[in-house]
Structure 1
Amino acid sequence: MTILLIAEHNSNTLASSTLSALTAAQAMGNDVHILVAGKDIDTVVHEAAKAFGVSKVLCAEAEVYEQALAEPMADLVVHLCTAYSHIIAPSNSESKDFMPRVAALLDVGQVSDICDVLAADQFKRPIYAGNAITTVTVLDEKKVITVRASSFDEQIQQSEQVCAILPVDFIAKNTLSEWKKDDITQSERPELSSARCIVSGGRGVGSNESFALVEALADKLNAAVGASRAAVDAGFVSNNLQVGQTGKIVAPDLYMAFGISGAIQHLAGMKDSKVIVAVNKDEEAPIFQIADYGLVGDLFTVLPELTEKL
């Protein structure tokens, strides 16, 4: 049983989500190949070749794969899939684009956001905004799967030997879509989806000026900054900081929520955090039901005092 893992990367390093997906892949079978597709990817390819438990790295280097557009990526994966029983990828904005197309071209179903591997053909995944976990048995000959990276430990062990690296000479043709540009907010803070500590603010913060209190605490803790959907919709911060079912799924060691009531869609994105700290002036706020530590109080008093004492 051979598994193809499609790597997430930035052309310089493998994303931590790829290493988490590798852990999931190794629970499905003992022969894992990694596909690295993109442009100027030599560094990533050699990093993948050192990953423990990987027997082969496929290098598809071409300009058409640089932005991981759905059409060329799907055509590439389908071209390579003959030898594989499982095709898996970390769940992210790119794989949410091309993996359904892969499944459609193969005429099979896709299992999205798995959070546990029970057997090679049986997985657990969240449903109903994370309020229930369903067990799915896949009957299709080829399994197309995306992995919720926060549910699996990163495979950080490296092999003493570099595995085989094979170039892929297939270059897909793409006439259906075109990449225009990336609008990326640059920040020196840790990346939200992989941060060990996250400080989040919600509607209760009140304004984008007041959100500076959240950012000040995050800087003291060397933490990432997050936000609820309500805070994003109110224009306090950009949507790339949104945590929740329609934002980013996170599971840090410490999640601190200020002025966040705890709507279902937000809880679905952060309830797997190891320690949850909540501050809200409403003692009936739903977030207190899952918080390890809760404080009923005014965040405008608590935040400056906490920041000052750290």
Structure 2
Amino acid sequence: MTRIAVTGRTGQVVSALIERAAATGVDILPIGRPEFDLENAAAGLNAIAALAPDLVISAAAYTGVDKAESEAERAFAANRDGPAALAGLTARLGIPIIHISTDYVFDGRKAGPDLDSDAPGPLGVYGRSKLAGEQAVQAANPDHAILRTAWVYSPFRANFLRTMLRLGAERSLVRVVDDQIGAPTSALDMADAILRVAANLRAHRADSRMRGVFHLTGSGWGSWADFAEHIFASASARGRPPVAVERIPTSQYPTPAHRPANSRLDTSRIRAVHGVEMPQWRPSATQVVDRLLAGDNSEISQGGRA
């Protein structure tokens, strides 16, 4: 059985990996506080090594996009220094590392989707810290795959889809930004893709094409308002009252950190190299809505952009 250590105990990606790996012959070993603290990663490396993993997934991160503007030291400790320590450990163990990154490494000003090879240009502290983490992983362990994703949602933890379901139960009208474009990405679909990349990295140790930076998002694009409308339509099909979406510009929803207006990522490389074809985002989002509402989930909590 393949043993994969994953940083973070309860995040969206690790929760999805645990669920999806159950029938694949892969043993997911989540590790987090107190044994492993991403902001002091060097102190927890022995705990990861003791798991004797065949591969490590660096999934945990400091994700407070707005808070990072006033907590730069914490953001860089978690998003740069933590992955650097993990990559160094995996290099010493002679095993691959998969590092999860973000669309925030780009400024969102490109007219079309960003390619894996495009020059990054983050707008804020969070994006700069995540880019520094990518660079640290690349420098510490050549046996890596960096997977940039965007707009992650799932049945787990706080995220945009769960927030919309909560708001839709309270209001008949929700105001949602309409001038930021991206690809909503199911953590469950991500987990399937990550497991495939992990298998490829282990099976093709000498193939340099398998290594490097790849983009991994749901197929198709839309705005946050499009995403919200689809969530409400899916919920309405399950008997929820209809909810209208008022489309607003970003200027009417100011935040401390600037968001990329264009978060579209070109996923052709991961499809060509790893054979990963991500599902269209709308059916995947409907599946998560159906799952949450079928379970009469009373704990749909506030969430935000991943």
TM-score tier (shorter): 0.3 to 0.5
- The structure with higher relative contact order (CA 8 Å, sep 6+) is 2
- Name which one, 1 or 2, has greater alpha-carbon Rg: 1
* Bigger share in helix: 2
